[in-house]
Structure 1
Amino acid sequence: MTSGSGGGDVRGNTFHGPAFIQTGGGNTQYNYLVQPSHRLREPPPAPQVEDWLVDRAEADQAIAAVCGQEGGAVGITTALEGAGGFGKSTLATLVAASARVRRHFDDRVYVFGMGRDVRHRAGIARKVCEAARFITEDTTPFDDPDLAGAHLGRLLDRHPDHRFLLVIDDVWEAEQLAPFLMGGRRCVRLVTTRRPESLPRGARRIRVDALSEEQARTVLTWELPPLPGETVRGLLAATGRWPLLLRLTNRVIAAQLDAGAEPATAAHDVLRQLEGKGPAAVDELAPFPGASVFSDSSVVSDLFGISGPDDPELRRRLLDDPEQRKRLVRATVEAATGLLPTRGRLRLAELAVFAEDEAVPVPLAATLWHATSGLGELQARQLCKTLHDLSLLTMDKADGGRLTLHDVIRDYLRHDLGPERVTELHRVLLDAVAATLPPPSNPLPLGPMPRAAWWELTDGYLLDHTVGHMLAAGHGGEAEAVASDLRWVEARLSRRGPLAPWSDLARIPAPGARARAQDLARAMHLLEGTQPANALRAVLRSRLQPLAAWHDQVTARAHRPGPPALVNAWPPPDMPDPRLRRTLTGHLGEVDAVAIEPGGAWLATGGGHDGTVRLWDSATGRRLATLESPSGRVRAVAIARDGTWLAVGHGDGTVRIWDPATGRNTSTLNGPARPANAVAIARDGAWLAVGHGDGTVRIWDPATGRDTATLTGHAGPVVTVRVATNGAWLATTAHHDGTVRIWNTATWQCVTTLGRDPWVQSVSIAPDGTWLATTGGNGTVHIWDTESGRVTRTFTDPAGRVVALVIPPDGTWLATTTSNDQRDGTVRIWDPATGENTARLGCPGWVHTMAVAPDGTWLATGYGDGAVRLWDTGADRDAPPPTERAGWVNWVAIAPDGTWLATGYVDDKNVVRLWDRATGRNIRTLAGHTGRVHALAIAPDGTWLATTGADSTVRVWDTTTGRNTIVHTVDGGAAHALAIAPDGAWLAVAAHRHIWLHDRATGRTVPVIESPNTLVRALAVAPDGTWLATAGNGHGSVRIWDPATGANTTTLASHGAGWVQAMAFTPDGTRLATAGGDDNHARVWDRATGETVATLTGHSGHVRAVAFDPAGELLATGGDDGTVRIWEATTGRPLTMMRVDGPVYACAWAQDGRHLAVGGMGGVYLYEFRPGT
């Protein structure tokens, strides 16, 4: 590296700031202090560069690369796949400290560490949020890494006058890196990784190999007196010029000199050790015992046909061989440990019991050493310093001191210890840690009690690895007891996110642990971060309390003191079907395409609105990669049979080919500018067929990108393309033309046309090709004999239009799913031979697509809310009958005396149901509306209630008898809102833009107000009945009216030019809350002044419901993000929240101020609010 064109002189710099951020260890917890700001912080100083580091050509390349582009990524990786110790991180430090780099980026160079274990979504999101907080003053929390990455990108783009360099060190997965690549047009990312496939497409790649002879000589002899040339050459050969081992060797010789050894003798002794024990001797290749390959150039030439020990090809052969690398490490480490007393060598080896690539607290190492040898902490710290000076480990003084063993050295030490001693050390470590913990207090009704209160651990390393240490020690029973304890689950969840407690249980080979792991897996998508953070415990308990394996524990913990919380008063109506494996979330809009890799290890999902394809691990639910393209909406996804590529059809007509291993878009097929609705790939991958919106099917050669055939004949957009198992023919369907066409793949001629059902939606082919199934818009499924072209069986899905159909590889069943206004989300399993519906799977929602795993044991469904659900198709468990409280509830109200509540449902029954609050039983059903119920309100004395609906009627019901006492039809179409006067003498009804008043005494209904809103969605009456408030579509305002005159007396600007979805007033009428618009906020207003009292931020979707408690001190909100949140009404401070499995549309407080009823897509929920102690 030369000054000017390179990085300049980087030595002598000091580092005073936190340029390296690590959250994998320590006591990191979720933080949710929201302080939006995009002001840049002062950039950190340059990192310190060790004096012994040498200039490397790769550093020049990296410096030139990052300074030579305005954006994008530069990747530093190793020349040897998976090899460590070659100096990737060191090289990144050189770049970050380079004077040229710091001038170019005006010191805005930021270094962040990732690591192997940061893999779950919440952990990656935390890393991105910390980057945002470190670069700017923004503290906005995210639990989704994509949202966090997009936010970071926006923050960077707000400073177009600045260049930024983000150094992301030790990346293991493309998923870890993806959020850091979003936005930031003038931001360059420098990435270090052992896995080149994790780098983005187009990244400049710099490979780090063994050092050159001159560089290696510098590292080897740093600060040493002159050594004999022959000895130096021998040491260079013996270490393979591997930076890690060169530094170790240098420290060994330096330590000998410090003890008074003569330089030449010390170096020669080390060389003899290396040649005697390491691969530099390659003794098994020598022609006679005791010979050294490197000592005789003729031997080298004879064996390898190369010139001698300095030949780069020989070094390559040695370092390419993992076994040779192991021997090299052994020799070098033994040379270093030979300088330690026996106790020191043993203590170093004992550190190998700790997890790989983890920073181990020095006090924990001291605890282990005290147990094995009586070593005190002072002595332990002195030994750590010695080991650090010998470069046998790295010690960081932060957080009380942390040790890191390079994994190369750790592997050697574990091998040297042997499996029995390693197992014994796990036991010793656990015993020592347990002795520092209190015994479990207040035993839970669990079974075997853990011997210590492991959940009281505060160190991140122990929380992450205690269960692993228990299993490695052979203590499986204790591991299960700990991982199954609710206190442990809560501790792990709060500190490490939902994947942590699940992984603890999933790794334990016991039926009870696996069952509990599955319970957590089904709820995992609901267990991401909350606002405030302590509400996460309430969400967890809500989902576990109804389950037999957890019920007693949750009940036992329910009345312990704690922060404000919502607690189940009724079991949630949306508890998952036991055949649900897990739910995958992240798409920002409906999922229109799902495909499963032929081995079943991963699946690909396509998001309609967000235009991305996401790859997921089917076993863990972990997102593997996100594929983004400019082609817009994803319509179809297909995976090649060998799993090496996939094809994605887009709304603009293009089909993009991707390499799932690297995340690269390898080619693009440009078809007609009509949506590519369906894609199918030949079994041998030689061609793919694409069904387009113009009615054609295009055949492409993926190798050349050529369009080889165009199939015409359909009279509408092609929506399905399926290839027969033998590849000899394919079947296609199109909207509205009512046919299935069979095409010969050798000639591309249409050989058969089946059916004339105008609503043919989908087709699937049996594995043996003897029959196929088609679906229709009226819910019919036809089974066709492919030879005769005749229908052999017809059956009907009772839920309506069938949108997706799959047949498993064994052809013994088929599955259908429907789309209807009730969003029932049901998947039905059928016996194709008999037409019998043998099983039902599902949850509320609109299912858009479906795919079955290659072994037929599970299937995946894509939903309109952006979720993908994985289902077990096994016959050993059937879906439980849905609770009577399940279903889409859009309105809820609680009787004045609090003994019952009423709900309005969105279903084909158009009813209102009354529920006993104490028991949760349905006590009465009010039927009469001929369209959807839009609103309901209960009279002040509770003896009657009123409803409005899509049938344009207002109905009054006797709540004791259930009798419909009054029916009135309003002009103007559907009635969307109503409110009852405080004395019950009249009620107000909103029908589109008109407000009608119904006088109960006279029975007269008259229009009194015409609102400028195109549709009034919310209506409220003053506590004294002297005014009305309306809100709805258009203008985004709340208007106050005099019901006697119809005059608009006040207008409050609420949500800009958007719409107001919901509105509520305090009991004294002085303040109101509104929700709506596109800002995902709720607002509290002073009615008299029109000033905003508080803006409530936290919802990640439209806010649909607001309700004040009877004291006017608390506000409940609910929305499309599936959360119910409780706020301090005067300050906007979040007190607690609950998360459910679907949007929330309504909420209402009981007069006791303790119970909150909630309505949503999943049904009706009842919670008890506990204010906290």
Structure 2
Amino acid sequence: MTSGSGGGDVRDNTFHGPSFIQTGAGSTQHNYLLQPSSRLREPPPAPKVEDWLVDRAEAEQAMAAVCGQEGGAVGITTALEGAGGFGKSTLATVVAASARVRRHFADRVYVFGMGRDVRHRADIAKKVCEAARFITEDTTPFDDPDLAGAHLGRLLDRHPDHRFLLVIDDIWEAEQLAPFLIGGRRCVRLVTTRRPESLPRGARRVRVDAMSEDQARTVLTWELPPLPRETVRGLLAATGRWPLLLRLTNRVIAAQLDAGAEPAMAAHGVLEQLEGKGPAAVDELAPFSHASVLSDVTGVPDSSGVSGLSGVYGRGDPGLGRRLLDDPEQRKRLVRATVEAATGLLPAQGRQRLAELAVFAEDEAVPVPLAAMLWHATSGLGELPARHLCKTLHDLSLLTMDKADGGQLTLHDVIRDYLRHDLGPERVTELHRVLLDAVAATLPPGPRRRAAWWELTDGYLFDHTVDHMMAAGHSGEAETVASDLRWIEARLSRRGPLAPWSDLVRIPAPGARARAQDLARAMHLLEGTQPAHAVRAVLRSRLKPLAAWHDQVTAREHRPGPPALVNAWPPPDLPDPGLRRTLTGHLGEVDAVAIEPGGTWLATGGGHDGSVRLWDSATGRRLATLESPSGRVRAMAIARDGAWLAVGHGDGTVRIWDPATGRNTTTLTGPSRPANAVAIAPDADWLAVGHGDGTVRIWDPATGRNTTTLTGHAGPVVTAEVATNGAWLATTANHDGTVRVWNTATWQCVAAFGRDPWVGSVTIAPDGTWLATTGGTGTVHIWDTESGRVTRTLTDPAGRVVALVIAPDGAWLATTTSNNQRDGTVRIWDPVTGENTARLGCPGWVHTMAVAPDGTWLATGYGDGAVRLWDTGDDRDAPPPTERAGWVNSVAIAPDDTWLATGYVDDENVVRLWDRATGRSIRTLAGHTGRIHALAIAPDGTWLATASADHTVRIWDTRTGRNTVAHTADGGAPYALAIAPDGDWLAVAAHRHIWLHDRATGRTVPVVESPNTLVRALAIAPDGTWLATAGNGDGAVRIWDTATGANTATLTSHRAGWVQAMAFAPNSTWLATTGGDDDHVRVWDRVTGEAVATLNGHSGHVRTVAVHPAGALLATGGDDGTVRIWDAATGRPLTMMRVDGPVHACTWAQDGRHLAVGGMRGAYLYEFRPGT
């Protein structure tokens, strides 16, 4: 039994205008009411229980378990486990239909199926949303299963007077189950699975195995006339009392009786078939004649006409059947015998048609029309007789047929395995080819007379076409299809970014692998677009600059389609080819990364949210999120066997987690100072924790006892690392400038050495003969551990080294630095020669780094919440940043649209001018000594104005680059400026004051003092008679008369108390504002001061808003890295673009077709295509 924990708040998505909103979830557009209903629906009727089912003790155990908790805040998860065909799902149905269970839960019993095919996170989320919709009237869509599960849990918790039972059938992976375990304090979960490891720790387990003899007899003889006792016992033994085979045998005998056979003879004939091909035919298990065995057991000659198999199993050794089931080979023989008994009753060629179904994927529902298509290709069978054959196969329990969606067939994997073995590899390969040819004939032709596979509508084929091509030996065709942008976009839209990547990565060809890597590098940008079709625009934006994709993308962009932003310039943030993938999801900086010793998963620790996330290192899929109330994650380590991990937090606690179950098994409470460093002994007998009070505490992880406390450092301990052999531990504390080495047997300090007054990280070579430390500058010292001498010093030119790792073989070490330019470069060094052999990375602040156990890749954690995985295999340098890279904080386009200007937040503090058509740099305007806060271009384009952190406003001649200081703000740096429509004056916002600068006289006078503590946004009316201001403080927008300075109107704005940006419609009747912590964009009527609409979609602070020159569109951008285009009249999202970093500025060109964007990764220019 396990408890479910509640989830965090999920932001509601509302547009205050129309009565509903539309959001994209996967490839589906959803409409839903502003206030989703949590009202409960009428409970569903009890599931049907087949008459032939028998009472089993396991059902009683399960009923007792689910009814054993009479409320309270603990959720119970009961699990049924067992090998395939033993009746787990059937048993769960019996529990769900039980009168006792239904009374206990007042009929609120809900059954949901999962299955192996529900793999993608969006698919899991869809299942959870279906559950919420089935139980309540809520229809809120989610494409993140954690958010969907948290929402479902909250809906259940709104009904504390009700108990709920969720029956979740056929779970294959823990992540399928995890969302259902969140919240729901009075909700019990009954789970069926054949994989016990997918269950949460502590789940009460009901084991389903072979039936008892009485139970098995009931199933075997259901609705059959009396049969000879010895025949029945022989059949029970021959089937091993395996429910799947018992039911098959029953159906075979029933079919014989329907054809007029005499009961005893029919049953005996089936038994003979089972004997001839079942385990009794194996010499090593039956090296004697059946007659002699029966004679030995009964004492009389075998004159019954019944084989001695019944004696062997029934009387001689009742445990032998059990032992046969334990042997996989013998189970196969049981299946063969039973299936052949059933297929003997099929019409001519019926057995061959059944076997052909084994070509389809395991555990997948196959559409009946698709099966009929295959049979027509192999034998000319039409759809009507094909459906009749499917019904016959269903009646014989050889498969299950569901009438839904035109008919779906499911072949039990036990039977499928047998049929595939019987067909043999060559015939299976041939069937894959036949199936593909049959399907291709139904598709429209594509280029070069190939089938247009991207036009597939059948869900099964859409998911498995590439698999069938590979299995058919058509790897070349598989690569062609999987590399086709039309196929990729279709897969992406319907199945998410993992699907097209999975298609390519399974093809063993260099081209496919390279294209898969291209998709992997962009995968984090392809989740959750709104509207859903915008994901295609994001994909094209990332692929078009790459030579392998350029022609395909160009061709696709010239076809009619929905509204889209397309690259006018190549993006400045294209990834280093050494990047494997980017993991996103943390709400703050990533301060800790640890990689599991096998390299299959990694753990990352976030700053603001205090969570730890586990990721699949191959796919980038998030496996789990470990939530803790202990605050910021400071350090992390994983035990050498991967069975547990320790996480150090800002409150001084260290939490030990089981990564398999996601449970916090132990909490170690030390001093209240942060736990900055964690190291685990190689044998996991102890762990060391370095604290902010200068101590290192040694803990026994099994007992949770603090066994030793090490003292000696004069400042906060920041790193701890244990030698590979576990014999010694090295620790550092920034300010005391020393590395201390501790003997782990005595816990005595055996060495202390240092070179700089400040020592940061320490890391130990695998052989323990040397270690490396970082200093307060860009130095790394390599020390001989025996002599304590520095043998080499490396100097990183980029700044202070903040993270350091050594390759598992000691052949190289990697460093990364911190500086104001967000260098983000990882440098690879040869520790012997001191040579910098390679560079990789991307702009940003790197906080932490870890290397994989095989040394082929490393992970870096960034200040923006991202984790990036890098290849280390090639000795190469990262490509130089593009000319337009850098942190762009402001952007403006010239009135004639021929050039644009960008203002930078970096050490250079410059404004750059760019040719719009070519993207080439025209001029760099240098002179400010602080970052550029704002810029604006004059109406005639001959000059522009800039506001800087150096407290000055400068006027620049755009032709010569010369500048003059127009104003120096004494009370605070100017944050905003705007130029009057006639160009005669400009307004400057500095701190809370608004100044007007007259261009003709050069005089600057104060006109307004705003109640805002800081004015961030400023706009001037088209006729220049008023201006608007907004900023920190009360979140209001104020309208001021420029002649008198009077405050003529105040619009109450964002509830969080500040406004980041605003923009007016061309006719000044309405304006849009962004700001606060609600991630919304609000639209206001300027005359009435009323908010007329709220636009939702951003998942972080919205930093910029721009109104289209015609007033019909809004563009917004924010910290979530998205640029969104909205219909200003309806608030409907038209399209969006996602880039690899926060967006800080955007503006429309006068032609209304181009949008310039500035962000942390550089300057972007897009063409907006309104769609057709």
Same structural fold, with TM-score higher than 0.5 when normalized by the shorter chain: yes
Corresponding residue number in structure 2 for 1:418: 424
Do the aligned partners of residues 46 and 31 (structure 1) sit closer, same or farther apart at CA in structure 2, a change above 3 Å counting?
Answer: farther
> What letter is aligned with 1:884?
E
Counterpart residue number, 1:730: 729
Give the match for residue 407 of structure 1: 413
Contact 1:32–1:531, Cα closer than 8 Å, also in 2: no
Cα drift, residue 55 of structure 1:
2.5
What is the aligned partner in structure 2 of residue 364 from structure 1?
Answer: 370
Equivalent position of 1:56 in the other structure: 56
The worse-fitting range, judged by mean Cα deviation, of 716-725 and 59-68 is: 59-68
CA deviation map 1:646-682 (0-9, x unaligned): 2222333333333334444443333333322211122
Q: Which moved more, 1:922-931 or 1:366-375?
A: 922-931
Q: Equivalents in 2 of 1:967, 1:195: separation in Å?
A: 73
Counterpart-to-counterpart distance in 1, 2:611 and 2:186 = 23
CA separation of 1:279 and 1:637: change in aligned 2, threshold 3 A: farther
Is the deviation greater in 638-647 or in 662-671? 662-671
CA contact 1:283–1:292 (8 Å) conserved in 2: no
Of 398-407 and 211-220, deviating more is 211-220
Task: Tell me the residue number matched to 1:858.
Answer: 857
After superposition, the Cα gap between the structure-2 partners of 1:546 and 1:296, relative to the gap in structure 1 and judged at 3 Å, is farther
Q: Shift of residue 41 of structure 1?
A: 4.9
2:341 maps to 335
Shifted more, 930-939 versus 699-708: the winner is: 699-708
The aligned runs of 1:1018-1033 (5 Å cut-off) are 1018-1033=1017-1032
Once the two structures are superposed, what CA deviation does each residue of 1:1126-1148 show, in whole Å capped at 9, x if it has no partner? 11011100111111111111111
Q: 1:76 aligns with which of 73, 76, 79?
A: 79
**1:186 corresponds to which letter in structure 2?**
R
Q: 1:657-736, aligned counterparts within 5 Å?
A: 657-736=656-735
Describe how 1:1129-1148 pairs up with structure 2 within 5 A: 1129-1148=1128-1147
Q: Which moved more, 1:1067-1076 or 1:310-319?
A: 310-319
- 2:730–2:762 contact (8 Å) kept in structure 1: yes
Matched-pair contact (CA < 8 Å) for 1:280–1:294: no
Superposition CA RMSD, Å: 2.4
Partner of 2:486: 487
Deviation of 1:51 (Å): 2.1
Pairs within 5 Å for 1:384-395:
384-395=390-401
1:951 and 1:973 in contact (8 A); partners too? no
Q: Residues of 1 paired with 2:132 and 2:1008: CA distance?
A: 50
Kindly state the Cα deviation for residue 460 of structure 1 after the two structures are TM-superposed: 0.8
**What's the offset of the Cα at 1:724?**
1.8
* AA aligned opposite 2:75: G
CA distance in 2, matches of 1:674, 1:888: 35
Which amino acid in structure 2 is aligned with residue 195 of structure 1?
Answer: R
Shift in alpha-carbon separation, 1:843–1:1026, aligned structure 2, 3 A: same
Look up the match of 2:879: 880
Q: In the alignment, residue 622 of structure 2 is paired with which amino acid?
A: R
Q: CA deviation at 1:807?
A: 0.8
User: CA 1:632–1:1094 in 2, change beyond 3 Å: closer, same or farther?
Assistant: same
Q: 2: CA distance between counterparts of 1:933 and 1:977?
A: 10
What amino acid does structure 2 have at the position aligned with 1:1101? G
1:922 is displaced (CA, Å) by: 1.3
Instruction: Kindly indicate whether the alpha-carbon contact (under 8 Å) linking 2:565 and 2:1137 is maintained by their aligned counterparts in 1.
Output: yes
Q: Distance in 2 between matches of 1:936 and 1:132?
A: 49
**Kindly tell me: are residues 1124 and 811 of structure 1, through their superposed partners in 2, closer, same or farther at Cα, counting changes over 3 Å?**
same
2:328 alignment partner AA: P
SS of the equivalent of 2:237 reads helix
CA displacement, residues 1111-1159 of structure 1 (integer Å, 9 cap, x when unaligned) = 1110011111111111101110011111111111111100011001111
Q: Structure 1 residues 298 and 78, CA, compared in 2 at 3 Å: closer, same or farther?
A: farther
1:497-553 C-alpha deviation (Å, 9 max, x unpaired) = 111111111111111111101101111111113111111111111111111111111
Whether contact under 8 Å (2:26, 2:122) holds in the other structure is no
Q: Deviations over 1:815-870 (max 9, x none)?
A: 11223343332222223334333322212332221101122111011122322111
Question: Secondary structure in 2 aligned to 1:170?
Answer: strand
**Cα separation, 1, equivalents of 2:657 and 2:931:** 45
Q: Any stretches of 5+ residues in structure 1 without a counterpart?
A: 1-26, 444-448
- Match status 1:136 vs 2:139: no
Q: 1:588 to 1:32 in 2, by over 3 A?
A: farther
Between 1039-1048 and 929-938, the greater mean CA deviation after superposition = 1039-1048
Partner of 1:558 in structure 2? 557
The 2-side partners of 1:727 and 1:663 are apart by 27
Q: Percent same amino acid at aligned positions?
A: 87
Distance 1:512 1:571 in 2: 23
- Tell me if 1:1060 matches 2:1054: no
1:1152-1171 matches, within 5 Å, as 1152-1171=1151-1170
Partner in structure 2 of residue 1084 of structure 1: 1083
Unpaired segments ≥5 residues, structure 2: 1-24, 300-307
- Larger CA deviation: 965-974 vs 386-395: 965-974
Q: What's the counterpart of residue 772 of structure 2?
A: 773
The whole-number CA distance in structure 2 between the counterparts of 1:496 and 1:295 is 63
CA deviations 1:436-478 (Å, max 9, x no partner) are 11110xx4xxxxx572001110011001111110110111111
Partner in structure 2 of residue 14 of structure 1: none
Contact 1:35 1:138 in 2 (8 A): no
Contact between 2:26 and 2:496, CA under 8 Å: does it hold in 1?
no
Q: Hey, what's the Cα distance between the residues in 1 that align with 2:214 and 2:387?
A: 36
Pairing 1:192-207 to 2, within 5 Å after superposition: 192-207=192-207
Kept in 2: contact 1:1037–1:1059 (CA 8 A): yes
Query: How big is the shift at 1:624?
Result: 3.0
Q: Structure 1's 1139 and 798: CA in aligned 2 closer, same or farther, altered over 3 A?
A: same
Post-superposition offset of 1:967: 4.0
Q: Deviations over 1:570-615 (max 9, x none)?
A: 1111111000011122333322211112222222222333333332
Is contact 1:719–1:735 with CA below 8 Å preserved after alignment?
A: yes
What letter matches 2:167 in structure 1?
V
Could you tell me whether the CA contact under 8 Å between 1:731 and 1:741 is conserved in 2?
A: yes
Q: Please state how far the C-alpha of 1:289 moved relative to its aligned partner.
A: 4.6
SS of 1:452 mapped into structure 2 = coil
CA separation of 1:793 and 1:450: change in aligned 2, threshold 3 A? farther
> How far apart, in 2, do the equivalents of 1:642 and 1:856 lie?
18
Counterpart secondary structure, 1:275: helix
CA distance in 1, matches of 2:1066, 2:387: 65
Partner of 2:17: none
- Checking the alignment, whether the CA contact within 8 Å between 1:285 and 1:293 is kept in structure 2 is no
Per the alignment, residue 173 of structure 1 pairs with 173
How many residue pairs match? The answer is 1135
Summarize deviations over 1:609-634 as a string: whole Å, max 9, x none: 33333322222222333334444433
What are the Cα deviations for residues 871-911 of structure 1, in whole angstroms up to 9, with x where unaligned? 00122543111101111111111111111111111111111
Q: Deviations over 1:269-305 (max 9, x none)?
A: 2122222222366653123255697996599xx99x9
Secondary structure, in 3 states, of the residue corresponding to 2:351?
helix
Aligned to 2:1012: 1013
Q: Which amino acid aligns with 1:730?
A: L
For 1:590 and 1:240, the matched residues in 2 are separated by 58
Q: What CA distance in whole angstroms lies between the structure 1 residues aligned with 2:876 and 2:254?
A: 68
Residues 945-980 of structure 1, C-alpha deviations (whole Å, 9 max, x = no match): 111121111111111111112342112222111111
Per the TM alignment, residue 700 of structure 1 is displaced from its structure 2 partner at its CA by 2.0
Whichever residue aligns with residue 363 of structure 1, its letter is P
Counterpart in the other structure of 1:12:
none
Deviations 1:783-836 (A, max 9, x none): 223233233333333332322111112222211122334333222222333433
Aligned to 2:931: 932
Change over 3 Å in CA distance of 1:127–1:316 after alignment to 2: same
Note the 1:344-359 alignment, pairs <5 A. 344-359=350-365
Say whether residues 1:113 and 2:116 are aligned partners: no
**Distance change (3 Å), C-alpha of 1:782 and 1:64:** same
Decide whether aligned partners of structure 1 residues 708 and 536 sit closer, same or farther in structure 2, where only a CA change above 3 A counts.
same
Rate the CA distance shift 1:1111–1:228 in 2: closer, same or farther, 3 A: same
Counterpart contact for 2:597–2:642, Cα < 8 Å:
yes
Asked whether the 8 Å contact 2:966–2:1002 carries over to 1, the reply is no
Following TM superposition, by how much is the alpha carbon of 1:1105 offset from its aligned partner in structure 2, in angstroms?
1.2
Q: Contact conserved, 2:237 with 2:314, CA < 8 A, in 1?
A: no
Give the Cα separation in 2 of the matches to 1:1097 and 1:652: 35
Distance change >3 Å, CA 808–CA 397, structure 1 → 2: same
Q: CA deviation at 1:58?
A: 2.2
* Aligned 1:1112-1127 pairs, distance under 5 A: 1112-1127=1111-1126
Q: Which amino acid aligns with 1:38?
A: S
